[in-house]
Each structure stands twice: as C-alpha cells, then as structure tokens.
Structure 1
Amino acid sequence: MLTTLFDPLTVGFVQRALWGGIILSALCALVGVWVIARGLTFLGEAMGHAMLPGVAIASLLGIELVVGAAASAVVMVLGVEAIRSHKDFGRDTSIGLLLVGLLAVGVIIVSYSSSFATDLTAFLFGDVLAIDGADLLQLAVLTALVLLVNMVFYRSFLAVTFDERKARTLGVHPVLTNMLMVLTLAVAMAGAFSVVGTLLAFGMLVAPSATALLIVRRVPVAMVVAFAFGSLSTFIGLLISWHASTAGGATIATTAVSLFFLTLTIRTIRRALNRSDADGRDPDTGKEIPQCAVETR
C-alpha cells in the first residue's frame, strides 16, 4: 500500500517537480513572511497578474519571459510608490489602478498574437511537472539572491515592518527600504511565475507564510516554518495530483491553503479551550461555568 502511494516519487519529472517545489518554498518563505507582516498581500496578487504585458512583449520578441515579467513588476512597484505618495490616494487605490491598467495593456498585446493563447495558459497556471534542470537552477539562484538581500537588510526590513518612526531614529530610510522590499517581492514573483505560473507562485507566497505566522512570531523562525509548510504542501500535493489525476500546481496550492485553514481551526479551538479553562467562562456565551464543570474538563 505504502509502496503504491509513494510510487510517483520514483519518476524523474515528479522528482524534479518536488525539488522545484521545495526550492520555491524557500524562495517564497523569505519573501512571504514580510508580505504578510507588512500587509502587502494584495500587492503580491496584483503583481502576479500585472506582469502579463511584460510577458506578452517578451514572448512576441522571442526573449526570456522572466525578463519581461521582471520589467512589468518593476513598473508596478515604481507606479505604486509614486501614486501612494499622493495625499489623495492610498496604497490599495494605486495597486488597483495599476493592476487594471497593466492587465488591460497585456490583454491588448495578447490580442495581436493568435499564437499566445497557450503561453497565456502556462503563464496563469504553469506546469510544475514540466520543470527541468534549468528551471531548478533559476529558482536556486533567485533564492540565493533573495536570501542575501534578507541577510544584509534584515534589521532595516524588521524596523520598517514594525515601527517606521523608530526606524528613522535608527538611521533607516523607510521609503528606500520599502522600495527594496517590494523589489525583492517583484524579483521573486517574476522568477517563480516563469517556472510554476502565477497561481502556484502566489499560493506558495501567501499560504505557508500565513500559516507560519499563526504559530510563531519571530521572523526568522516564521521563515523556517513557512518553508516547512511549503515543502509539505508540495510533497502532499504532488502525491494527490498523481493519484487523482489533477493539475499539479493547483493541487499543491490547494493543499497549502488547506493546511492554513486546518492550522487556523486547531489554533482557534485551542485558544477557546485555554480561555475557558483560564477564567471559568464559556468561550461562546461568556457566562461563568460552574466550578465542578471546570474541574472535570
């Protein structure tokens, strides 16, 4: 039974998909924890779709898609920061405007090429089972780059994330640090999408990191835990995908989200029980529980 269950792991392309998912988990953990802590989830999602015009132009010109994706992501970052500084608009407004604008431009460009439909499907949904050695190397290089940025600017990122006013007193420039942080997100998303598509890239960016932050609060520990959840999601998702004949990337993303809700449910139940035991009150009604009932729990 167990042999049959783990048979897919003996297949070459499944092994590469597993390694790709593990490396992607590390990349997304290094960025995703900051994204969740900073409240930039909407920006990450918008950036994934706003990369379409750059990808479309790169495809038409015959150059690497990741180059076009990165260019669009940088435009998105610069645009968000420029509009956000305007007193009449907030971050969400600028992100929404740029998302719609860049996505619309991308669709217009795609409409000029009848051969781009397949590439567009790959852009949105990817094919984790098609990962090759070059893709693994690309993900590994990006992960190393993002890790280096985190190590060098960790204190600046931490200060800006939790208290921008205090960051200024420490000599940190919040605007430049924010820009660097978002550019790191752009690089990670651009590199990840070209291998696994935006659906899996964004799912792995948000779900494992959000799950980790339900359990721990220290950023470095949260990154390690997020990496563990992302790797576990990849492992379970690939097995389910193989045996159920479902799309690999979507199954991995669904698994990651399911682990988040499972962890959230367990955490909610434990907190309710602890609160009830601590004050002798029912967590739902707030009424005092008889002492005998507390003692017999």
Structure 2
Amino acid sequence: MKPVLTSPLCLSLAFGTVLALTACSQKASQPNTEVSKVNMTAGNQMASIQTAIACLPDEAALIAAHRGVSEEWDLPENSASGLQRLIDENYLVAEIDVASTKDGTLFLFHDGVWDETSTGKGPVSASTSEDLDKILLKSRQGTLASERPLRFDDALEMAKNKIYLEIDFKSSASEFQVIEMITEKGMGDQVVLIAYTSEQAEELQALAPNMLLSAPGEDKGRGLKPENTLLWMGRGIDSISTPTNTLAYIGMVGRKSETAVPGPLRQGKLLVTDFPTDFPPIWGLNQKTSQAYEACLSGNKSEGS
C-alpha cells in the first residue's frame, strides 16, 4: 500500500485550523480578568458613593487608599501628589485626615504634631494658616517634597467627580465646618464620614443626614439610617458571614497576598489598605461583571447633595 502524500498547502491549512481551534479553546478557558478602569459617571457627574457600593456585585469591593497614598510610592501622605496619582491610576476611594489650624483653616494631615512627616515643629493645632505656606511635607520614606500641606477645599476641588473621599476627623477639626465645606462644594454624595463612637455617628447623621457614615461595627448601626451606614469591622472584615441591616461593611486589609479570599469580598464592600497598588481599584470585578456594574451606575445617576 502506497503512503498518502500531503501537499504543503494542505499541511498549512491543517496546521492553521489546529492553531485556530487551540486559540478558541484557550480563549474559552481563560477566566474573566480583573478590570482596571470603570466609567463611574453619568454625563459629567460621578455616581453617588451609596450607588457605587450598592451596585457592586457580590464578589467585588472598592479599594480605599489609607491616608491618600500607597506605601509603594515615595510621596507624602494626605498630599496633592498622592491624591492626583490615585486619580491618574483610576483608584476610586482615598481615605484622608482633616485637621485644622488654630485660626480655622482646614487641611489634610494625620499626626498631632508636625515633626515626623514635615518640616514643621510642635502641635498641629497650635499652627496658623500662614504656617501652612511655610511647611514642606515629607514622604513616609523620609524624602522631602516640594509641596505644602493640602488645604481641604483644594482637596475637594481635586476630587470632585473623580474620586470618593473617606473623611477621618482629627481632634483639631470642627465636624460642622468640615461638613459645611463638603456641602458648599456639592460633594455630599462623594464622601464617607468616619465615626469612632455611636455618639459621634449620631452627631454626624444629625449634621449630614444624607451623607454616608462609617460607624462602629459593635453598635450594628443602631439608630442610624441603614441605607447611609457602613459598619466598620477593622481587620476582622474577612471573618464576616452574616449581614446586618446596613448598606455594607467596611474594613482594613493588608497586602493582597495576606488577605483572605473570598472572606472580605463576601460582605466587605469598602476595603481600606496601605497597599492599594496591590489591588485593582475594584477588587473582584471582572470584564463580565463590569458591564452590569456600569449599567447599574448609569441607571442611578447621582442627584448631588
């Protein structure tokens, strides 16, 4: 019996078919990869933070940058450069600390004294607004930056319709003054107000009934509006299994490699971390679910506050 001879053309066609079938098979077996950017706006207006959380699929969570920066960046915390980089890299939430000078100028700074992370000296609360124009910030690595402390009104302008802000009140800052400025800037639906006690949560709700609160988890949001309340669970966020009458849970996570999955993604919808660059801006959102997420966002356009 003579061997069957195959022409080069037939071999080429056969090989091409095998490649095509292999490519299709590989494409079909590839998982939906995490997305790095989502359209959060309807027109020119960013969806409210309540909507951004409520629309999240079960397995997804917003990632918030603690102190408005990443440990991986040689940038000052609570700074304009850190906030701008988060915006440029499509992150959606920055946790920031609001302090005040003794003459009432609100600005971003975490520590009670200037010494460790700036060229300033002594208590922050003893400073004046003129001092803010003389002090330079330092990065977490100790690098001196060519930028001054960021005034809160400037931070709001930078963030408007670009990134959500989680507001941590320092003892020097007036809650009323902070909320008043947020309202004046039309940013009420882009912020989360942090309360450390049930009493503070009730006070903040009275001052800003339509703004989203982060309240102590042990109080289970008693006396607060469920639709405007996140329960803070700290680093125990990955052990939650039973939801309560609240919009969602919020908690703190470390590096992605050290964070349990799917624990924090089951109930925690806002995860604060010092390492936001370990995560995509919305952890657990993939190419398939992002389409449904954007549709939900666009169908719930923010009305503003």
Say yes or no: TM over 0.5.
no
Higher share of residues assigned strand: 2
TM-score in terms of structure 2 length: 0.23
TM-score in terms of structure 1 length: 0.23
